[in-house]
Amino acid sequence: METKLDLKAIGNRVRLQRKFLGFSREQLSEQLSVSEHFCRDIEVGAKGMSVQTLANLSCVLKLSVDYILFGDTSNKDVCEPLSVMLRSCTPEKRKYAEDILKSFLLAVE
């Protein structure tokens, strides 16, 4: 059985997380040791990537490989308490929480 990868969906997940973490495409390409054009091709779904690039992308973007490839959110139970707390926040407080979480993710490398 062969699983067909949706390169556009993969690219969209990569782009959204890159932007969430505040990385430019140039910064991401430098951290992955690939060209900026190749990062663009991944984000628009024009090209796939090697296993090594996928592993590096997972580390840099703080995303699981399953999530990058399939949008797998099977670990919802881990995120559920956080989701409940965020839903109870005002939009202003949610923005502060997002900024704090982003800083935390970037700091614990």
What does the pLDDT look like over 76-106, one tens digit per residue?
A: 555 666 776 777 788 999 999 989 988 998 8
Residue 102 near residue 20 (C-beta atoms within 8 A): yes
Per CATH, the architecture of 7-70 is what?
Orthogonal Bundle (1.10)
**What integer is the mean pLDDT of 20-24?**
91
Q: Locate the DSSP E strands across the chain.
A: none
Residues whose CB is less than 8 angstroms from the CB of residue 23 and which lie 6 or more positions away in sequence, other chains included: 31
| pTM for this model (two decimals) | 0.75
What does the pLDDT look like over 40-90, one tens digit per residue?
A: 999 999 999 999 999 999 999 988 898 899 987 665 555 666 776 777 788
Residue 80: exposure state from Cβ atoms within 10 A (0-12, 13-18, ≥19): exposed
d(CA 107, CA 52): 23
Per-residue pLDDT, 50: 96
